[in-house]
Chain A
Amino acid sequence: MLRRTFIQAAASALIAVGLSWSAHAEDRFITVASTTSTQDSGLFNVLLPAFTAKTGITVKVIAQGTGQALDTARRGDADVVFVHAKAQELKFLADGFGVKRYPVMYNDFVVVGPKSDPAGIGGSKDVAAAFKAIADKKAPFVSRGDKSGTNTAELNLWKAAGVDLQAVRGDWYREIGQGMGATLNTANAMAAYTLSDRGTWIAFANKGDLGIVVEGDKKLFNQYGVMLVNPAKIPTVKVNDGQAFIDWLVSPEGQAVIAGYHIGDKQLFFPNANDPNA
């Protein structure tokens, strides 16, 4: 008797939970594969509610590195990609997985490091020279090591500095294979240098002894782009709602929300959808 009551209670609880979830699933939503920087910086917390209020479309964000986000889209598990590594984005387009790339906004990368500044690069505006100094002194450096947009930018900077990473890498160069926030935590704990996008850096709450050592070089420019996944390749893509999100992002209204996102008095992202070369 007791057993039967228990089984009935458990079964009805299961059904109730199942029903509430299927009700959830009927909502109008799109899935966006994006980057850890847009999430960790807090931008999505203001951007997405504004879009949902306007259109009634819920946006589900999977925050990954740019490489992984593009891969998620290639598998057909996302409708839109919103990432920041132009070369990888153009390859995604060339492979036929994207419909069209729209520039959305930019910020910049900064080199952060410990106050002790063992490579002596504090205040420099020449990021290539700074990277060269880090490699020469074998000062600790934490790399994302995850094919993200930031990781891609970092590898390009080593190239620009004329440093052959494979030849000189040693204990001082640590690839941790994690997101931007985790990388900053590690850099803080190890008193190491790292490259971060400015948005995540400003929003990051565990700066400890870290500070910006290099900023303002043109090479540190960080452009974000958005693409609809090509329905010709992935038939399940939600074309209308996905395109609605993109259209809104590049519209004056979406661009204004991006420009309006501040932490303290600092603006984190700068809209530039009207720049065709971005």
Chain B
Amino acid sequence: MLQDMTILSSVLSLLGGDGGRLLEIVLLSLGVTITAVVCAGFVGLPLGAGLALVRFPGRTVVIVLVNTLMGFPPVVAGLVIFLLLSRSGPLGGLGLLFTPKAMMIAQFVLVLPIVVALSRQTIEDLWTEYRDHLTSLGAGRLGSIPTLLWDARFSLVTTMLAGLGRASAEVGAILIVGGNIAGFTRTMTTSIALETSKGDLPLAMALGVILMSLTLAINGLAYGISRVGARFSGKS
């Protein structure tokens, strides 16, 4: 049986005594996840908006496909990227396997469909609302994309947080492409998996508590910022 006190003391000793290594792991986790999510935002938001506004043959198929990819099993994504990046794979020459960059690519691939699919829906709804107004101003569909993205920014924060949630909770893909190398590709989630396998359940649980606290902090921060922003722009 796990005792609450054991977990609590594990959390405290992690934060205190062995803080240096914990900090390294936390920073790597945050670095990989946030980079992946920001990149997915830069690529995914315009793509989602484009998919919402531009009509082309096969558009419905693409939308269904993107929606399906939201459920792309991480372990499959990890395996595909592993085979691509392996020395004997097509991108092996880059030497990226078992590096933080490989983990970033894996999370980017997992987060991108979420950003595209959810922002497509948001922008499409907004477009039905603003269509006449924007058209009367002489903006074409493509020309409207920046305006719509900017106007939907507070809803899109939730989209990005959904992506962040996917990335920060993920272990299957980064374990395969990162290799869980101590001090180099060991993240919060792979540490939890490792400590569980070593039978140190209080330490694993303590890491879990810290990871969830971090996620809570990031979500709280994002919510606060978007509320303040909404108030200043009179959209609350």
A residues in contact (CB < 8 Å) with B: 3, 10, 13-14, 17, 21, 24-25, 31, 36, 39-40, 44-45, 60-63, 75-77, 178-182, 184-185, 188, 203-207, 234, 236
How many whole Å from A169's CB to the nearest CB in chain B? 25
CB closest chain-A residue, reference B31: A17
Q: Given that A25-B99, A61-B182, A77-B97 are known contacts, is A181 also in contact with B86, CB under 8 Å in the complex?
A: no
> Are A60 and B98 in contact, CB atoms less than 8 angstroms apart?
yes
Whether B201 is near chain A, meaning CB under 8 Å from some CB there, is yes
B residues in contact (CB < 8 Å) with A: 31, 35, 38-39, 42, 86-89, 92, 95, 97-101, 150, 179-182, 184, 194, 196-201
Q: What CA separation (Å) do A36 and B181 show in the bound complex?
A: 12
> Are A31 and B200 in contact, CB atoms less than 8 angstroms apart?
no
CB closest chain-A residue, reference B179: A62
What secondary structure prevails in chain B residues at the interface with A?
loop
> Are A60 and B196 in contact, CB atoms less than 8 angstroms apart?
no
How many whole Å from B14's CB to the nearest CB in chain A? 15
How many whole Å from B195's CB to the nearest CB in chain A? 9
> Are A63 and B87 in contact, CB atoms less than 8 angstroms apart?
no
**Which residues of the other chain, B, contact A76 by a CB distance below 8 angstroms?**
86-88, 92
What secondary structure prevails in chain A residues at the interface with B?
helix
How many whole Å from B45's CB to the nearest CB in chain A? 12
Q: Given that A3-B150, A234-B87 are known contacts, is A181 also in contact with B101, CB under 8 Å in the complex?
A: no
**Which residues of the other chain, A, contact B35 by a CB distance below 8 angstroms?**
14, 17
Q: What CA separation (Å) do A61 and B181 show in the bound complex?
A: 6
Q: Given that A21-B100, A77-B97 are known contacts, is A60 also in contact with B181, CB under 8 Å in the complex?
A: yes
Q: Given that A61-B181, A76-B88 are known contacts, is A178 also in contact with B199, CB under 8 Å in the complex?
A: no
> Are B182 and A181 in contact, CB atoms less than 8 angstroms apart?
no
Q: What CA separation (Å) do A69 and B92 show in the bound complex?
A: 18
**Which residues of the other chain, A, contact B87 by a CB distance below 8 angstroms?**
75-77, 234, 236
CB closest chain-B residue, reference A36: B197
